[in-house]
Structures are given as structure tokens and as C-alpha cells.
Amino acid sequence: MSSVRGVPAYAAAALSLTLLTAPSITAPNLTTPDRTALAATASAPSTAFTPTPTPAPTDTAGRAAAALPLPGIGVTYRQQSGDPVRLSAYGLGTRATYVRARTGDAFTVRAGVSEAAVSPDGRTLAMVPTAYRAGKDALLLGDRTTGALRRVPTVAKPLAASSVAWSRDGRRVALTVERKAGGSWRAAGFTVVDVAAGTARTVTVAGLDARAAFTWTPRGDLIARHGDGLRAYRAADGAVLTTHATLGRPAGPEDPYSPSGRRLALWCPPRSAERLCVADPATGRIIKRVAVRPAALFGWWDEDHVIAVMPQGGAYRLTVVGLDGRATRALAVIPARAWTAELWLTFNRA
């Protein structure tokens, strides 16, 4: 969502992508917030967008979808009972964050928060505050049943830790640590928060891609982009486990892995005519090149479909796209003004 994370590529069969799997919460073009500047405006939600009428799309079976207006951004989301995922939060860059109630369809703006992501079991809300406290950044953990809120300090200023990535078991959160250099934020390492214990451990990683965003593997390690490829890191100390330098970068900003973990969505290598590729994590090889060119991917709809943002005329459409390249469901029309304001969305498995 908001701003997250050596061995030669393909050196041996042992360097398979079996280590890789994870949710990534990086928003398109999103930069790490200036915690001091944002503190003054955190309580004011964005009002820049006026809702625009959206046609009621249907899926390929002709079933009508129920309209769910999203406050503050001029977008209407179309949902159906039985959908495999549930829209749980969205926002405009680091300026406004909206979170859905645990039950029902109500979205509420969260003041003083630059990003938010719901745990896989729906019980905990992880949030990054817009301001430091006593010179420390933090992760806020909210109990969605009782409303209790815990603040877990992470890194000290001038570092910042953001881009919430939940482990699939919901026990840990990974954050990408960044440092501002030459006017730009650059990835410097990661922080792992133990949710039950309320503790954080930060690891600095040498040779990290400046735009890296960390996400989890099924074994409890981390991956991040590395040039035009991927690199896996040990969560305990940041040691490099594998490198696949030319395979393609994890497609995002949401979880690039299918629900089973057996498929990995990638932005195709530069040499490819296609933009969206699918790799087999067990072999580390591309198994599918999809004939679509999305502006962003917000994770997987199910094992055979992804949630893609597709350019359409002067606007964009949030669409369910199959690995055969066919659109099977229109979820929302996104005005260009909202998209260029760095709209992000996060989903949870239903």
C-alpha cells in the first residue's frame, strides 16, 4: 500500500522461488510521508473529488453487482455476495485513509494515519501514523472488536517505516524502512513487528534496491524487487537467500502471489512484449505471459484471475482479468484525477 521491501540468478536448481510468497502493500507512485508536515493536516480527509455516476456493470454470467460508494474519491465499487475478496481499505497517497467496518459496508476516514491494512483474519488493523512521537516512528495495532489501540515504536527519525505487509498467518507485520537522500526516499532495510508481543526488530540491508518493498514468503522470509528481478532475504538478519535478477519484478502494489502460493504475478522483464507475466515459484520460471497492460495490480481475485487497473479512455477501470487476458468483471470506474492522486486499495480474502 503506502510507501514497503548473493547468489547469481538461476545459478542452480536449489535457487528455486519456493522461498517466495507474500502480500505487498505499496501504492502506485506513493512516497514516504513527511511525518512532521502531515501531522498538521492528518485530521482533514480529502474532499477533492465529487462522486461521478458509474454504470452498473455485470460479470460474464450477467449478474448485477451491488453499488458501494467510496467516500472522498468519487468511485463506486461493485460487489456481489460470494466474491472471493473484500475491499477493506483505500486512500489517496498518504493524505487520506479510509477503513471499512469489520461487518457491513461503512467506510470511515482514519485521522492521523497514512496507511492501513487489515490482518488476514480481520481482527487487527495495522496503521502507520503520519507523525513521529518523541522522534520515533511506529506501527499502530487496533483491535477491531474492542477498539483497543497499541503503539509499537519502530525506527528513529530520520528513518521512516511504512508499507504494511501482513504475514499470511497474521502473526507478524513487515515494514519497509526508508531514508531520505538527495530529496528522495530510498529503501534501507526492514522492520518486523511481532503482533502478539508488541515488539519490533529493525534490520539494515546492504545493497538494497532503492525502490525495494518487502513482503513475506511462506517460510517466513522476505522478498523484494532487485533491479529487474527478485531477491529473497532471511527475516532474522537480512541475509540474502536467493537472487533472480532478470525474472521480473513482483507485480503490485498488492500481494503478487495467488491464494495457493503456486503462482507469482510479475511485471514482465524489459525484453518481453507483454507487461504481466506469471511465474511458477517452484521452478523460478515464467509459465504465462498475459496479453494485457495494466497500470497496477491489486492482488489476485482467485487462483486464475487478478485484480487489475486498466487504462480506458481518459479514465481507468478496476477489473477482474483472467490469465487468458479476458476481463470477466468490472469492479469500478476510477476517474483519472483520483488515480493520479495516488489511489490505493487493499483487499482481504472473504
Question: Number of H helices and number of E strands within the chain?
Answer: 2, 26
pLDDT given for residue 63 in this prediction: 60
177: closest CA among 92, 185, 239? Answer: 185
pLDDT given for residue 42 in this prediction: 34
292: closest CA among 279, 310, 307, 305? Answer: 310
Euclidean distance between CA atoms 210 and 212, whole angstroms:
6
The pLDDT confidence band at residue 3, using thresholds 50, 70 and 90, is: very low
Residues 230-240: pLDDT tens digits? 998 999 999 99
pLDDT above 90 as % of the chain: 73
Asked whether residue 41 carries a pLDDT value surpassing 70, the answer given is no
Q: Is the dihedral of CA 123, 78, 3, 250 positive or negative?
A: positive
Residues 263-314: pLDDT tens digits? 999 999 998 889 999 999 888 899 999 999 999 999 999 999 999 999 999 9
Contacts of 309 (CB under 8 A, 6+ apart): 294, 295, 296, 297, 298, 316, 317, 318, 319, 334, 339
Euclidean distance between CA atoms 35 and 95, whole angstroms:
11
Euclidean distance between CA atoms 241 and 146, whole angstroms:
40
The pLDDT confidence band at residue 4, using thresholds 50, 70 and 90, is: very low
pLDDT given for residue 62 in this prediction: 54
Q: Is the dihedral of CA 215, 221, 226, 229 positive or negative?
A: negative
Region 325-334: mean pLDDT is: 97
Asked whether residue 162 carries a pLDDT value surpassing 50, the answer given is yes
pLDDT given for residue 217 in this prediction: 78
User: Picking from 27-31, 71-75, 215-219, which range would have the lowest pLDDT averaged per residue?
Assistant: 27-31
CB 232 within 8 A of CB 217: yes
The order of strands in the sheet holding 136-143 is 113-118, 124-129, 136-143, 149-156
CB 68 within 8 A of CB 76: yes
* DSSP 8-state secondary structure symbol assigned to residue 248: -
Region 251-262: mean pLDDT is: 88
CB atoms within 10 A of CB 73: 26
3-state secondary structure of 102: coil
Residues 119-154: pLDDT tens digits? 999 999 999 999 999 999 999 999 999 999 999 999
Euclidean distance between CA atoms 57 and 78, whole angstroms:
8
What would you report as the CA-atom Rg of the chain, rounded to the nearest whole angstrom? 19
- Pairing state of beta strands 305-312 and 229-233? unpaired
Euclidean distance between CA atoms 31 and 94, whole angstroms:
8
Cell matching residue 192: 518486523
Go through the chain and tell me how many residues it has. 350
Average pLDDT of the chain? Answer: 84
- Angle CA 189–195–201, to nearest 5: 30
pLDDT given for residue 70 in this prediction: 97
Model pTM score? 0.83
Contacts of 257 (CB under 8 A, 6+ apart): 20, 21, 22, 23, 263, 264, 265, 281, 300
In angstroms, what CA-CA distances link 161 with 32, 151, 190, 336, 345? 8, 13, 8, 29, 19
Q: Which alpha helices (H) appear in the chain, and where do they start and end?
A: 35-39, 336-340
Amino acid (one-letter) located at 148: A
